[in-house]
Structure 1
Amino acid sequence: MPNIRIIDSITDPGSPSRPNEDAAGGNASCAFVIDGATGLGGKSIVGLNGSDAAWLAQFAKSSFEQTVRNGRPMADIVQEFNACAANVVQEAANALPIEPWNLPIAGFQMVRIEDGAVVTHGLGDCRLFLLGADGVEFDTSAIKGGFADERDGARLAIAHTGGFSAHQALADDPVVRDELRKHRAAYNQSDSGVWTLGTEPAAAKHLATEPLRTALPAMGLLCSDGFAALCDQYGRYGVGEFVKAARDAGLSALLEELRRIERVEDPDGHKFPRFKMSDDATAVLFEIVA
């Protein structure tokens, strides 16, 4: 019977002026990361330090730690969670209409033991990096290649704004914000292909689930896209190298490297296009043993 053991975890806000909208956690049968999507300038509905995304991430963390156990299907858990979150949001809105782009959403990636097997579940663009005992590498996300699409969008936004000299978050520019709102409003609809934690119970039907047939003991990293950028956007590590660096150097050292790239090497975003100078960054280092 495989077991998951969390070795280390770290989370860091992208800016001291913004709340951390990531979360991470686990229990005896799972480990996970959650990445709340920063609001696009609308009024906070539920709010945690003024951020609906931070509220949703913490709500999901608490819910997952309590409900992901005893073999309960993950799709049922997500459906129930989103239905509950929808009720909270609607009550907090006091029957006032909510723009679709202003609904709180979050992505997540989880590794879980189910019926003696190891499985990963996810929605959104969080990441899993895995290294088996035989050296075989594996990585995945619920949105395959999502980091490339985001990079292309950020490149256009930086060309428009000139970089981070005016806005540390490009979504503060009205033209960029309107475009992002248009994309966000299409989420959790059949024609978008993007499904999330949030207020749409039907997202559970689109849960990305994959079995992990890896040689044990295996070592893995669960990351929000802000931390995974070291591999996906900045190209400092391959999949196996990333996991080994987390194990050998530690997550704190990797976080320092990440922030050095963003704030010293490329503070204007021209070398590595992105929508924020620094995004929230969260990672969980874990091992799977027999």
Structure 2
Amino acid sequence: MPNIRIIDSITAPGSISRPNEDSAGGNATCAFVIDGATGLGGDSLLGLHGSDAAWLARFAQSTFEELARNGRPMTDVVRELNQRAANVVHEAAPALPIEPWNLPVASFQMVRIEGDDIVTHGLGDCRLFLLGTDGGTFSTSAIKGASAQERDGARAAIAHAGGFATHQALADAPGVREELRRHRAGYNRTGGSVWTLGIEPSAAEHLVTERLEPSLPARGLLCSDGFAALVDQYGRYDIAEFVGAATTAGLAPLLAELRHIELTEDPDGKQFPRFKVSDDATAVFFEIVA
């Protein structure tokens, strides 16, 4: 039976003026990363942790660590997590008319040992990068092509809003915010393509699950899209190089490199279009052994 061990983890907010809406964790059989989606200017439903997204990220972390044990099916875990979150939200805000775009949502990616199998589960745009001992690589996300979609949307938003000189987060620009609200209102809806952690238990039926067969021992990185940008948006590493850099130097130098690109090399987003100068960035570096 394989075993998973977390070697290192790191998380940092995109700005000291905003709460960190990422989280990460694990237990004896899994490791995971969670990325809460920044609110789009509506009333806070909960008033906790500085943002509803930050609350959901931490709520999901503790719930995963509690429930993702003893071989319990992940569909059951996600369904119960989202039902619990729905109970909290509706109890905290019973009198508020909750706009669909104002509901807390979060992405996640998990690697889990299930008997003799190694499996990854996810919803949303977090990332997994895996390197086997034979040099074979694998990467995935629950939303395929999410990084390209994000880049194209950011390029249009920068053109509309006038860049980061006007808005450090492009979602603050009214025209961009309205388009993002329209898009997010379609999350977790029948017939929609984006399902997340949040308050919709039926998102469990849309869980993206893939069996992994790396040569062991294997090492990997679970990342929020803000950290995975080193590969997906900025092109500084391929999969093997990315995992190799974490192995040789740890995660702190990778985070420092990420911030140098965003704050020094491309602070205006012209070379690498994005919705914020810097996003929250979280990574978990883990090893799987036989």
TM-score bin, normalised by smaller chain:
over 0.9
Partner of 1:281: 281
Counterpart Cα distance in 2 of 1:247 and 1:165: 37
**SS at 2:38's partner residue?**
coil
1:19 CA drift (Å)? 0.2
1:257 equivalent in structure 2: 257
Q: How far does residue 49 in structure 1 lie from its aligned partner after superposition?
A: 3.2
Give the drift of 1:192.
Answer: 2.1
Please give the secondary structure, in 2, of the residue aligned with 1:19: coil
- Does 1:243 pair with 2:246? no
The residue that corresponds to 1:47 in the other structure is 47
* Preserved contact between residue 8 and residue 251 of structure 1 (Cα < 8 Å): yes
Question: 2:268 maps to what in 1?
Answer: 268
Secondary structure at 1:260 match in 2: helix
Output the CA distance in 2 between the equivalents of 1:134 and 1:49: 43
Counting aligned pairs with the same residue, the percent is: 74
Q: Secondary structure at the match of 1:237?
A: coil
Once the 2 structures are TM-superposed, how far is the Cα of residue 246 of structure 1 from its aligned partner? 1.0
TM-score (structure 1 length as normaliser)? 0.99
Tell me the secondary structure at the aligned position of residue 75 of structure 1: helix
Structure 1 residue runs of 5 or longer lacking an equivalent are none
CA distance in 1, matches of 2:251, 2:47: 29
Question: 1:136 — aligned with what?
Answer: 136
Aligned to 1:66: 66
Q: Say whether the 8 Å CA contact 1:47–1:54 is kept in structure 2.
A: no
Matched, 1:126 2:134: no
Task: Determine helix, strand or coil for the equivalent of 2:220.
Answer: strand
Q: Distance in 2 between matches of 1:124 and 1:133?
A: 28
Q: Distance in 1 between matches of 2:101 and 2:246?
A: 35
Cα drift, residue 46 of structure 1? 1.1
For 1:38 and 1:161, the matched residues in 2 are separated by: 18
Query: In terms of mean alpha carbon deviation, does 211-220 or 92-101 score higher?
Result: 92-101
Aligned residue runs from structure 1 range 1-290, under 5 A:
1-290=1-290
How many residue pairs end up in the alignment?
290
SS of the aligned residue for 1:210 comes to strand
SS at match of 1:167: coil
Structure 2 segments unaligned to the other structure (5+ residues): none
Name the CA distance, whole Å, in 2 between partners of 1:96 and 1:43: 9
Secondary structure at the counterpart of residue 252 of structure 2: helix
Amino acid at match of 1:193: S
